Structure 1
Amino acid sequence: MTTTQPGQPLSYGTPDSPHIAVRGEARLEVDPEIARLGVTISARGTDRRKALDDLTRRNNQVLDLIKSHGEAVEKLETGAFTITPQLNEKGRHERIRSYRGHVHLTATVADFTVLGELTTRLADLELTRVDGPWWGLRPDSAAHRDARRQAVQDAVQRAREYAGALGAQLVALLELADSDAESGYGGAMPAPGGGMMRAAGYGGAATAPALDLEPQRQTVHAHVNARLSITRPML
């Protein structure tokens, strides 16, 4: 139960101390700060050890290639490793036909000048699949702060306009709530096949030309709910 002290305006306002509730919004379009690449390395063979050896060798090739770009790659993470026996579908016995292995990696690239070349070189490797790029912003990006600040300013401006229409003035801020703030691609990567570039490498004699990748602008939204007290309206 909420109590009100003598002389304190009620939470829903009074004729002598009315309140205005507004929603402030901001929408910014900014350049991306990072790009993520999903890399899947595969191996398959009738011998389990041979499949593992091939998978390990190809994984090391991918890691060496990505790490050779130095600080241009901000983060490199291994997401999952699997080795699965493939059973013969014919016959009653559990006979293993082959073994299939996968390693999933995620590379976060901060220098877009190397992104096209890195993408095609990865895709040119043996049994290597590349998904992406997924463009995004860092969690601490200044764009998020700018959007939140503009949303607050929008809320105050709206409240001032409403108060002015009533012949009143703003008195005090009673409440400010951050209802929503998010970036278009700042979160998890979409599932493969969602309209992004995909490439599967099988190896080749000639080096593949670098892709010309155009960064995708990011949309940042911010919303706040504000409640302000105003002077008595001139009705």
Structure 2
Amino acid sequence: MKDLGLLKYFLGVEVAKSPAGIFLCQRKYALDIISEVGLLGSKPMETPLEQNHNLGLAKGQFLDNPDRYRRLVGRLIYLCFTRPELSYSVHVLSQFMQQPRAEHWTAALRVVRYLKGNPGQGIVLDKDCDMRLSGWCDADWAACPLTRRSLTGWIIFFGHSPVSWKTKKQQTVSRSSAEAEYRSMANTTCELKWLKGILTSLGITHPMPTVISCAMK
């Protein structure tokens, strides 16, 4: 073993330290994705996915080379390590890995064009931390047009720093939007309890109450 100095780059993640904290991004990795699909000269998109999309009901032709789609979505999944705003888009695209259609490939390219607008965006781990966990969650009732299952999304902060985020389908069908929101809060609570257990094992006490905020409609 030998000391390689301060951490600057590890497994595609770029690390920049400052008196304010630590900044994590995957700029080089994002640029590699953009270059691989040939969109370096394309116009950036403002959003990663079209609003009110119907990708679950797509009827276009199946892709002749689905491996290319699977590789792109797989790389986008790893990019979510420092890009929480991509969680929903990548979750949707990853549902069609077995038999992707032309519409799915177009949607994946839109995500890449969104990356081109700011490939160096990442997350900041703030130095000033009050050691308090807090979570934000939301649910999209009956978001899946095929199974009618709702979608849960959450992001959890430790102080002012994001430490956990995810978008996933709920395991059961909710009969109302309120039920979907409560299931979303239940999933977020499980994640918070798991993170609190990790802090305890590291010797960090967390006596303050944990706050969960939910966008109830």
TM-score w.r.t. the length of structure 1 is: 0.21
Structure with the largest fraction of helix = 2
Q: Which has the larger radius of gyration?
A: 1
Structure with the largest fraction of strand = 1
TM-score w.r.t. the length of structure 2 is: 0.22
